[in-house]
A = this chain, B = another copy of it.
Amino acid sequence: MTENKEKTTIVLFSGELDKAIAAFIIANGAAAYDHDVTIFFTFWGLNALRKDEQAAVKKGFLENMFAKMMPRGANRLGLSKMNFGGMGPKMIKHVMKKHNALSLPELIELAQEQGVKLVGCTMTMDLLGLQKEELLDGIEYAGVAAYLGDATDAKVNLFI
């Protein structure tokens, strides 16, 4: 049934607000055009999926350090340019609101509503000590093999 649909995949490797916004705008656009869309979150990209509140999970020392040093969720990401210790993201969020552009949490919600498949990279989660309880609900979990399976069927494959 989905065989005839165009497919689009995005690897979101970067953990920055601006890159995550670009990824979700492209993903939501493609979904609106009725593509099957997968975003595969790996390395720092996983931070965009972290829940706002701290999950009650047990971690080792290094895993705890990673968890503390990395931004917890879409609202806390920095910018790849002009971050200025957090002023940059505030400015971007301000102008986005002013122009009625969706915020990153809203873009993520829209993606889930549109059926964009959000996949957490299990290998990176192991490495960084991130657990499913810490990530948003409705995420799928897989490794590079699943990503390649989707990408091989897709025409648009981006690494962001």
Contacts and interface: CB of A to CB of B under 8 A. Distances in A.
Interface residues of A, number: 52
B22 A42 contact: yes
Interface string A1-45: 000001010010111001100100110011011010000001110
Contacts of A131: none
Interface of A: 6, 8, 11, 13-15, 18-19, 22, 25-26, 29-30, 32-33, 35, 42-44, 62, 65-66, 69-70, 80-82, 91-92, 94-96, 99, 101, 123, 126-129, 144-145, 147-148, 151-152, 154-160
8 contacts: A11-B158, A18-B43, A22-B43, A25-B144, A26-B144, A29-B148, A151-B155, A157-B157
